[in-house]
Structure 1
């Protein structure tokens, strides 16, 4: 999942610094730079959290956590938020994809000069985030359910 989010995170960075890639240009300001860079870092951080559904560290509270360290994480505590997030991102991306990929008569991306093709490519990868998170959550649930 981090590799699915990475192209969009990298795509956003020039926009933060005032390069519109054939579209609307954001005025370069500290707020815009902080917002876009922060959004990219946050997106990547949440994508990396998906590893917790397939790695051992997603089953136990880290030992450095006071009072809770070393305890087993209840499967429901991981599957419920992951399922909600997966459904949310799937619905959001389906809604967003209609405009991005010119479905249903939408205008598409506001980019020109070939930048729209690149935008559709990196954004197309990003639309996989929700379904991938749901697949990881289902696998986590199957692995951790009581036998």
Structure 2
């Protein structure tokens, strides 16, 4: 390799080093392009949808910027002392012919649904839901 071709190669290499950050700034990687089927990206952070039978062995928390949607005919079986804590939004879409049921999964009672103050004004909506085998049913702070 001659001296002038080495210099040209170095100039091209250095130029590419400076241009690479600019190219990634023009089209940044978008992490939201891959969507988990259970978690859909919304204007907030995430929307989680439950259907069928959902078994909770530990307390489930809906974060402040998220929404939990429980579809019609869903049965949520909750372990002893387990509760659903709502810091964000809860939407229960039960119908008259196909209500949503929260029940104990064993012999011990669960603790129902707890709405924290951070959930106020977020548009939670519960329709045709039955809470069975619960110590508190529903708690609102």
TM-score when normalising by structure 1: 0.26
Q: Which has the higher helix share?
A: 1
Q: Which has the higher strand share?
A: 2
Q: Which has the higher contact order (CA 8 A, sep 6+)?
A: 1
TM-score when normalising by structure 2: 0.27
